[in-house]
Amino acid sequence: MTIEIGLMLTGMLAIGFFAQWLAWRVKLPAILFLLLAGIVLGPIGHVLDPDKLLGPLLFPVVSLSVALILFEGSLTLRFSELSGIGHVVRGLVSYGAVVALLLLAAAAHYLAGLGWDLSLLFGALTCVTGPTVIMPMLRTLRPNARIANTLRWEGIVIDPLGALFAVLIYEAIVSRHQGHAVGVFLGTVLGGVICGGVAALALAFLLRRQFIPEYLQNYGTLAIVLLSFTLSNTIAHDSGLLTVTIMGIALGNLRDVHVDDILDFKEHLTVLLVSMLFILLAARLSWPLPPGTLWAGIAIFLVAQFVVRPITVLVSSIGSGMGWRDRALISWVAPRGIVAASVSALFALRLSHLGVAGSEVLVPLVFILIIGTVVLQSATARPLARWLKVAEPDPRGVLIFGSDAVARAIGKALSEAGFHILLADDDWDGIRRARMEGLSTFYGNPASAHADRHLVLAGIGQMLGLSTHRERNSLACLHYQQEFGREKVYRLRNLAPQETNHRNALNDRLLVPALFEEGMTHARFAEWLIRGWRIKSTGLTATFDWPHFIEQYGSTSILMFGIDEKGVLRVAAERRELEPRPGWTVIALVPPEASA
C-alpha cells in the first residue's frame, strides 16, 4: 500500500510537471492541461481514486492547499495601486463584479436548477479571472497596451476580491444549514477578520524586527499562515479561509514590510500545489455526470461568454471613452482559473458533508466553465483581435536590462531604427535619465515577481542583458529565455574571457550568447563611448555594401545589429556572425576618427 501511494504521488508530480511544461510551450493556462490530466486519470481511465488514495487526509490536504493559494493571491492586492488602474478596471472589479456575480447566479439557478444559495456561491466563484490564466493568454493574444493593461489589472485585483466574496457567501450558507442565527454568521466573519488581522500584524512585527532570519522567513511565513488557518477554524468554525485571505491582504498593504521574497516563494509553492491539487480534484469527478449537468454546464458557459461578460464590460466602461473595438475584445476574454477550481472543490467537499442539495454538481459546473472559456478564448482571441485591428504586430520590440550610458545608447539607437524599446532596471538614477532621453522604462528588476505581475511585454520579442550586475544579468537572461526563446536573448559580457577563471565562471549551460565581437565587455564599450566612439546606423545598397562601410568607417568598426529587408532585427553575437547584405540597415559602433 505504501509503495502504491508513493508511486501515485510521484506519478502525479511528474504529470503535473509535464502539464505545466506543455502549458509553457504552447502558451496556454496550465489549469487546462492539469484538469484534463485529472479527468483522464480519474473518471475516464480509473487509474487515480483520490478518496481511496488519501482517505481521511483528503479534506485536510485540499483545505491547507487552498488556504495557501488564497493567501498567495490576496498578498498581491495593493490598495495603493487601485487609484491608477483606470476607470474600466475599477468598474470591472467593483460594481461590474457584482453584476457578473448576480447574472451568473441567475444562470445557475434557472439553467442548472441550483438553489439560490448555491447559485450565489457559483456566481462568486466564477466571476473571477486571475493572473495565472490571463498572463499566458495575453502572451499569445498580444493585444494593444490599453487592452493588455485592463485585462492584466482586472485579473490581479479581482482574484483576491472574488475569493473574499466566495468565502463570505460560503460562510453564510454553512451557517444557515447548520441552523445558526445571523449572529453566529457575523461572529464567524468577525473571528476570521480579527484572526487574519492579528496574524498579519504579528508576522509583520517579526519581519520588521528581524526576529526571523532571512533564510527562515519563507518557512516561518508558511508555518504562521497554516497555523492561523487551523487555529481560526478551531476558534470559529470554517473561518480559516477568511482568515488567510484577510491576512494576505493586510500583510501586502502594511508599510515597511518587504514581502517580495515571501511572495516569490509562495508563487513557486503554489505552482507545485496547484499541479497536484487540480489533478486530484479533477480525478474526483464522477462519470457520467449527474443527469443534466453536462448540458446545463454548457448552457451556463454560453450565457457567461455571450451575455454576462459583454454586459459586465458595457456597464463597467460607461463614461470611460474606450472604443467599441477594445470593449469587444475585453468582452470576449475572461478565462476562469485557480480560485474558481480550487475553492469550489473545497466548498463542495464541505457542503456535501452537510447534506446541502445540489453541492455535487457545483464542481462539474465550474470545471465546464473553466475548460470552455480557456479553450474557446485561447483558440479565437488572437484572430478576433486581428479582425478588430486591436492586436499588436509581431513582437519586434526589445527589452533591455540596464539603464546606464551603454544601455541608453544602445536603446536609443534601436529606438531611432524604429523598434519599440523598453529599459528595465532598479537603478532609479539611470531610469530617470532614460526617461529624460525619451525612452520607455520599467523601474524594477525585470526578473522579479513584481515584474511578472506588472511588466507589460506587449510587442516585445527579444531581450538584451546590459546590466553591470553580472549575476543578476545572467539570471534575467535565463528568465527571459523561457519567455522569448533561447535564440532571442543575449548578454553583454561583464568580464572578458581571459579575466574569468574557474572559481567565478558560470556553468556553460547557464550562459547565453555574448553580444558583439569576441572579448567585448561592458566596461570596454563604456570606455569607448567616453573616448568618442559613436553608434552609426546606415542603409546598405548594391553600390555601398558592408565592405564599403568598413572602408569608410574603419576596420575597427564593430557590427552590432542588422535589420534585414523584412524589418527583422538580427543581433551580432559571438559564434553567430552576421553577414550584412544590400538592402539591410546596419547599426555599428564606429571610432571617433571615422568620417561622418
pLDDT score at 1: 46
Torsion, Cα of 534, 538, 540, 543 (10° steps): -90
Mean local confidence (pLDDT), 203-229: 85
List the domain range (segments joined by +) for residue 327: 72-282+300-388
- Within 8 A by CB and 6+ apart from 576, the residues are 513
The answer on 582 and 553 residing in a single domain is yes
pLDDT score at 509: 46
- Segment (H or E) for 586: strand 585-590
pLDDT score at 499: 54
pLDDT score at 211: 84
pLDDT score at 332: 92
List, in sequence order, every residue forming a beta bridge with 521; answer none if it has no partner.
493
The answer on 334 and 454 residing in a single domain is no
Name the residue with cell 546606423.
Answer: 537
Mean local confidence (pLDDT), 21-39: 81
The answer on 328 and 458 residing in a single domain is no
Cell of 264: 516569490
Mean local confidence (pLDDT), 483-504: 70
Closest to 336 measured CA to CA, from 143, 172, 137: 137
pLDDT score at 284: 80
Percent of the chain, pLDDT > 90? 8
The answer as to whether 484 is a domain residue is yes
Dist. CA 99–CA 105, nearest whole Å: 10
Please determine, for residue 574, whether its predicted confidence score (pLDDT) is greater than 80: no
End of a domain among 333, 359, 388? Answer: 388
Mutual angle of helices 362-388 and 293-303, in 10-degree steps: 40
The answer on 419 and 494 residing in a single domain is yes
Domain count, the chain: 2
How is residue 488 annotated by DSSP? G
Helices (H) and strands (E) in the chain, counts: 24, 9
Torsion, Cα of 71, 74, 75, 81 (10° steps): 180
Please determine, for residue 507, whether its predicted confidence score (pLDDT) is greater than 60: no
pLDDT score at 508: 45
Mean local confidence (pLDDT), 169-181: 73
- Select the highest-mean-pLDDT range: 116-125, 299-308, 381-390, 470-479: 299-308
CB of 337 closer than 8 Å to CB of 135: no
CB of 569 closer than 8 Å to CB of 561: yes
The answer as to whether 456 is a domain residue is yes
Please determine, for residue 64, whether its predicted confidence score (pLDDT) is greater than 90: no
The answer on 479 and 337 residing in a single domain is no
- Within 8 A by CB and 6+ apart from 533, the residues are 589, 590, 591, 592
3-state secondary structure 201-214: HHHHHHHHCCCCCH
Percent of the chain, pLDDT > 70? 90
Dist. CA 243–CA 254, nearest whole Å: 16
Buried b (16+ CB within 10 A) or exposed e, 395-422: bbbbbbbbbbebbbbbbbbbbeeebbbb
Please determine, for residue 298, whether its predicted confidence score (pLDDT) is greater than 90: yes
- Select the highest-mean-pLDDT range: 45-49, 105-109, 322-326: 105-109
Closest to 228 measured CA to CA, from 64, 104, 431: 64
CB of 489 closer than 8 Å to CB of 480: yes
Per-residue CA distances from 394 to 143, 261, 584 (Å): 11, 34, 19
Cell of 423: 529599459
pLDDT score at 85: 58
Mean local confidence (pLDDT), 534-539: 88
Dist. CA 438–CA 440, nearest whole Å: 7
Q: Which of 83-87, 316-320, 338-342, 540-544 has the lowest mean pLDDT?
A: 83-87
Per-residue CA distances from 366 to 125, 162, 343, 370, 496 (Å): 8, 14, 10, 6, 56
Cell of 293: 449537468
Dist. CA 570–CA 482, nearest whole Å: 20
End of a domain among 370, 388, 406? Answer: 388
pLDDT score at 350: 78
Strand-by-strand arrangement of the 558-563 sheet: 534-539, 585-590, 558-563, 569-571
Please determine, for residue 40, whether its predicted confidence score (pLDDT) is greater than 70: yes
**More confident call, 540 vs 104:** 104
The answer as to whether 356 is a domain residue is yes
SS3 492: coil
The answer on 166 and 304 residing in a single domain is yes
- Select the highest-mean-pLDDT range: 186-190, 235-239, 306-310, 496-500: 306-310
The answer as to whether 65 is a domain residue is no
Q: Quick one: pLDDT band at residue 261, thresholds 50, 70, 90?
A: low
Q: Which of 12-16, 65-69, 423-427, 547-551 has the lowest mean pLDDT?
A: 65-69
Cell of 202: 504579528
Query: Tens digit of pLDDT for each residue in 542-560?
Result: 888 888 888 888 888 888 8
pLDDT score at 265: 65
The answer on 370 and 488 residing in a single domain is no
The answer as to whether 245 is a domain residue is yes
The answer on 230 and 133 residing in a single domain is yes
Cα atoms found within 13 Å of the Cα of residue 484, Cβ hemisphere only: 26
Average per-residue pLDDT in the chain?
A: 81
End of a domain among 388, 405, 426? Answer: 388
- Select the highest-mean-pLDDT range: 154-158, 306-310, 388-392: 306-310
Q: Which CATH number is 478's domain given?
A: 3.40.50.720
Q: Quick one: pLDDT band at residue 290, thresholds 50, 70, 90?
A: confident
The answer on 442 and 358 residing in a single domain is no
Cα-based angle 44, 49, 52 (whole degrees, multiple of 5):
160
The answer as to whether 8 is a domain residue is no
pTM for this predicted structure: 0.68
Query: Tens digit of pLDDT for each residue in 405-445?
Result: 888 999 998 888 888 889 988 888 888 999 988 888 888 88
Closest to 73 measured CA to CA, from 135, 149, 132: 132
The answer as to whether 493 is a domain residue is yes
Query: Tens digit of pLDDT for each residue in 331-374?
Result: 998 888 777 777 787 778 778 777 777 788 888 898 889 888 88
Q: Which of 316-330, 363-377, 468-482 has the lowest mean pLDDT?
A: 468-482
The answer on 331 and 373 residing in a single domain is yes
The answer on 339 and 454 residing in a single domain is no
Dist. CA 90–CA 316, nearest whole Å: 8
Please determine, for residue 303, whether its predicted confidence score (pLDDT) is greater than 90: yes
How is residue 394 annotated by DSSP? S
Long-range Cβ contacts of 123-126 (<8 Å, 24+ apart):
124/162, 124/165, 124/166, 124/169, 125/162, 125/166, 125/339, 125/340, 125/343, 125/344, 125/347, 125/366, 126/304, 126/336, 126/340, 126/366, 126/369
The answer on 500 and 361 residing in a single domain is no
The answer as to whether 291 is a domain residue is no
Cell of 196: 487574519
